[in-house]
Amino acid sequence: MKNFDTIIGQRAVREHLQNSLALGKISQAYMISGEKGMGKKLMATAFAKALLCEERSEGEKESCGSCHSCKQVESHNHPDLIYVTHDKPQLISVDEIRKQVVGDVLIRPYQSRYKVYIIDEAELMNEQAQNALLKTIEEPPEYAVILILTSNEQMMLQTVRSRCIKLSMTPLTKEEIKKILTGGNNISPVQAERVLSFSRGNPGRAKELVLSETFEKKRTLLIRILSGLADSSVYQWTDNIEDLSSDKKELASCFDLMEDWYRDVLLYKAGALKEQLIYQDAFAKVAQGADTYSYRQLQRNFEALTVAREQLKRQVRPQLILENLFTELRRTK
Ligand SMILES: [Zn+2]
């Protein structure tokens, strides 16, 4: 575990770090940015593990996974791997940076060639803390490697950013997320399918969603709305718009879920089996939709969703977007 080999997705970041290892060209400061849940810490740890591994020979791209050092990294117990900690949840103070990095870096590694610092949630460093850190990354001892992880690169001082090799984590494909969820997490492929659209390429978020009751509620609500749209009264319709537009941030994901729904309806209409559907748990309703909607109208539904997404980007009011969308989705022929 915690090897590059076990990381799914993020090929560009992985390859950059592994090439540095292969070439023996290790930079002393890296900034890995990406949303919370994207696996920045796992990536940083895999890199640290390879740097510290006792059995890795020059030019090798991966830790051995079994030496004393590798085991220490696995158990969070390596004296030359420092995870910077902080007392206040929303702040990494200048004292914490001075004590754990600036001062500590002057002490030579205990047992390895490198001494690796991982500063997670680095955006929580205030300006003073970042300035203190800057001194270290401007003139680090040759054994020091500083890994700065952040979900908000804009909060980092330009002076700090410009000293780092910058790597960005990118959204995973649905297949990759599915692989992560079903690999040893006790999550079934069917459970995984449900959250793929909503997770927006973020495996951490996907894991949370699988366990989240609010997500289940929203999904259930959408199934109810979509399966009833064709014969709903205007009043129900208004309530639905209220429910959905309350959280503007989630609206784009709702459109993804809707697209999955009509995709299922279309597939089933074209002869797909229940096992091929995402909404297997609402199979009867999907089948009903396949009877209700014409092929031509399903095509229009997809187009209406594309329009809705564009409107959302252009900051059109959510209520208005949904009214337009539902007007189209209510048609059956
Ligand atoms: Zn090793």
Q: Give the tens place of pLDDT for each residue, 265-295.
A: 999 999 999 888 888 889 999 999 999 999 9
Residue 196 is assigned to a structural domain of this protein: no
Check whether residue 24 and residue 138 sit in a common domain.
yes
Check whether residue 161 and residue 36 sit in a common domain.
yes
Residue 184 is assigned to a structural domain of this protein: no
72 CA → ligand 1 middle, Å: 9
Check whether residue 59 and residue 129 sit in a common domain.
yes
Closest CA to 170 of 51, 48, 21, 43: 43
Residue 175 is assigned to a structural domain of this protein: no
187 CA → ligand 1 middle, Å: 31
* 207, 212, 240, 266, 316 from 263: Cα distances, Å: 24, 24, 21, 5, 25
Check whether residue 253 and residue 313 sit in a common domain.
yes
> Tokens standing for 81?
């791997």
Check whether residue 129 and residue 72 sit in a common domain.
yes
Q: Is pLDDT at 224 greater than 80 in this prediction?
A: yes
CA distance from start to end of the chain = 53
24 CA → ligand 1 middle, Å: 16
- Side chain identity at 286, as an amino acid letter? V
83 CA → ligand 1 middle, Å: 19
Residue 185 is assigned to a structural domain of this protein: no
Check whether residue 99 and residue 229 sit in a common domain.
no
Check whether residue 103 and residue 250 sit in a common domain.
no
User: The domain spanning residue 126 has which CATH number?
Assistant: 3.40.50.300
82 CA → ligand 1 middle, Å: 17
Q: Where does a domain end: 168, 185, 200?
A: 168
Confidence (pLDDT) at 81: 98
The pLDDT of 57-68, averaged and rounded, is: 94
Check whether residue 117 and residue 233 sit in a common domain.
no
Per-residue b/e over 264-291, b at no fewer than 16 CB within 10 Å? bbbbbbeeeeeeebbbebbeebbbebbe
18 CA → ligand 1 middle, Å: 15
Q: Name the domain count of the chain.
A: 2
54 CA → ligand 1 middle, Å: 5
The pLDDT of 136-140, averaged and rounded, is: 95
Q: Where does a domain end: 168, 192, 222?
A: 168
Confidence (pLDDT) at 138: 95
Check whether residue 162 and residue 16 sit in a common domain.
yes
143 CA → ligand 1 middle, Å: 18
User: The domain spanning residue 296 has which CATH number?
Assistant: 1.20.272
Count CB neighbours of 235 within 10 A: 8
> Tokens standing for 292?
């209700």
Q: What is the pTM of this model?
A: 0.79
Q: Which domain holds residue 246?
A: 212-329
249 CA → ligand 1 middle, Å: 43
